[in-house]
Structure 1
């Protein structure tokens, strides 16, 4: 097996504004694993509030390259056990795990969905993100969109804006990216109208969730508070829902285990994304038959996508018939 890796720049179609800041581009690391004329792809991106440094990832890959290339082609779960011994950041772990699943499926001529017996008869539609902005501009974007589900970003709580969104009679979620206060959360979870929002994501900064009440009108969803499977037990009294992102939890292999445990604990589950190309989105798409919510609009927000595969069209998940994760470079 051979490994190649390169950094890429993802350019956004328009400035992406969230509570953490404004972005026009994202840096990405593309990983290619190859064997017997088959190539598998994985990806991770720079997210500043996760303090990601791609150059440190590149140095790490150079350090472990010979160990990776010495691996025999085994089941992806065995490859993942090998990766766990290398002390990798979850973002880099995810890129390698996804690339290997893509390669393994192509070598076996089977899709990830076939290999894992994942249902595809009721794929949940994805939301599209509406950036932080003036409320009337956000509503204009929603009304003009061909998508059916929306995640509206906000920076702090404006009760007047909330009331305007509730009047739209659309499928809307709120994502404050940890910018709500305790008082905001109390007001929201005691407001019966708030149950019209499909979910309210990561209302408070990390580890500040104990003001939240699971049995309230708000469907609180953990994002940054829910990094991996170890978070699930602790969050039970506070969150009804969790957002699983492959880069956060370390890839498809741990995501499958996390979904299984979250179901046992009666969580609602979302597959989410960062700003990613179709490489990253293709990996997320294969899990959409297992979850309640989907937010995989990352590749729809960029202007220079460099791959094809599974994709999202006006919210609908379109699965590639090709093996592995169906990823090909353009």
Structure 2
């Protein structure tokens, strides 16, 4: 039976990472290892305070479930055993990884998914002054797809500055719930005028009903409003796309189910991530065959990544090495 090890890790960010809700200088993650003989399956998650989850809470949930996990646990048992979605994610991914190690087959084969191939990921520009974001855009103008963190007063100037300094880049915008319903039509119009392809979560989750009656010249993507299958009904008519993150769905297994259901309902799909290492990106990459937009740049924003890392050639993300995960 597998032996469980739960660890807290802190990974410094290259500089600071700022969104509408605040700034941070390190990524706080929880990793788990499931050892069966010489084989070890691993998973990583990011407890997110926005969703009421903390590192200590996730560690406690996994530790409390140790006996059941080490007795032998199926992935289908996880939702009834553990509440925090981040904890479910780490455990689900570790179980997939362990099965891959034990069987000698990659996770994508075991799960009946397409073999992952290199994909272009968005590269995120942290929220800052218009001048600073313009300078960051100029430095990243060689990348094909930039994601702008917005959501505060002065966003029109920020967007204009970025577009001026990166005229050839594809752009997506993430307001992180920071805009108002009154100002949204004007911001969407400006996004359309500046060639923005998608806007993530412009209004607060639970206060986004205005989207249902609003003309949307740019595709609007649910992030904080989109979690598991149970959220799809409410999103229909308000959003054109959903951002699927494993820490919100509770692992790769439910994320695959959500991607299939979302496609069947004609939602566009973004595959996203929290700020974390390559170990968290690896399972998310298996969702990219469904994705219209890939946003798995977490390791690019860190001062250092774990080894062995996923290889990024600029913004081209390669499939994870088997020694990392899967």
Counterpart Cα distance in 2 of 1:142 and 1:195 = 14
CA distance in 2, matches of 1:313, 1:245: 23
Alignment CA distance shift 1:298-1:240 (3 Å): same
Q: By how many angstroms is 1:51 displaced?
A: 2.8
Distance 1:140 1:195, change over 3 A: closer
Q: Secondary structure, in 3 states, of the residue corresponding to 1:237?
A: coil
Report the alpha carbon displacement of residue 277 of structure 1 after superposing the two structures with TM: 1.2
Q: Distance in 2 between matches of 1:189 and 1:52?
A: 32
Q: Do the aligned residues in 2 keep the contact of 1:221 with 1:243 (CA within 8 Å)?
A: yes
- Residue 48 and residue 195 in structure 1: after superposition, are their counterparts in 2 closer, same or farther (change >3 A)? same
Q: CA deviation at 1:245?
A: 0.4
Aligned CA RMSD, in angstroms, stands at 2.2
Matched, 1:112 2:107: yes
Matched, 1:159 2:159: no
In the comparison of the two structures, how many residue pairs are matched?
320
Q: Which moved more, 1:284-293 or 1:312-321?
A: 312-321
Contact 2:127 2:150 in 1 (8 A): yes
**Structure 2 residue aligned with 1:148:** 144
Match of 1:96 in 2: 91
Give the aligned partner of residue 6 of structure 1.
Answer: 7
Query: In the alignment, is the contact (CA less than 8 A) between 2:147 and 2:172 conserved in 1?
Result: yes
The 1:122/1:313 distance shift into structure 2, 3 A limit, reads: same
Query: How much does 1:138 deviate?
Result: 1.4
TM-score of the aligned structures, taking structure 1 as reference length: 0.90
Give the C-alpha shift of residue 289 in structure 1. 2.1
In 2, the alpha carbon distance for the partners of 1:164 and 1:231 equals 35
**For the residues of structure 2 that align with 1:245 and 1:66, how far apart are their CA atoms?**
28
Q: Which residue is equivalent to 2:169? A: 170
Structure 1: gaps of 5 or more residues: 73-78
Are residues 1:25 and 2:26 paired? yes
Query: How far is the alpha carbon of 1:140 from its aligned partner?
Result: 2.0
TM-score, with length taken from structure 2: 0.91
Q: 1:194 to 1:224 in 2, by over 3 A?
A: farther
Which consecutive unaligned segments of at least 5 residues does structure 2 have? none
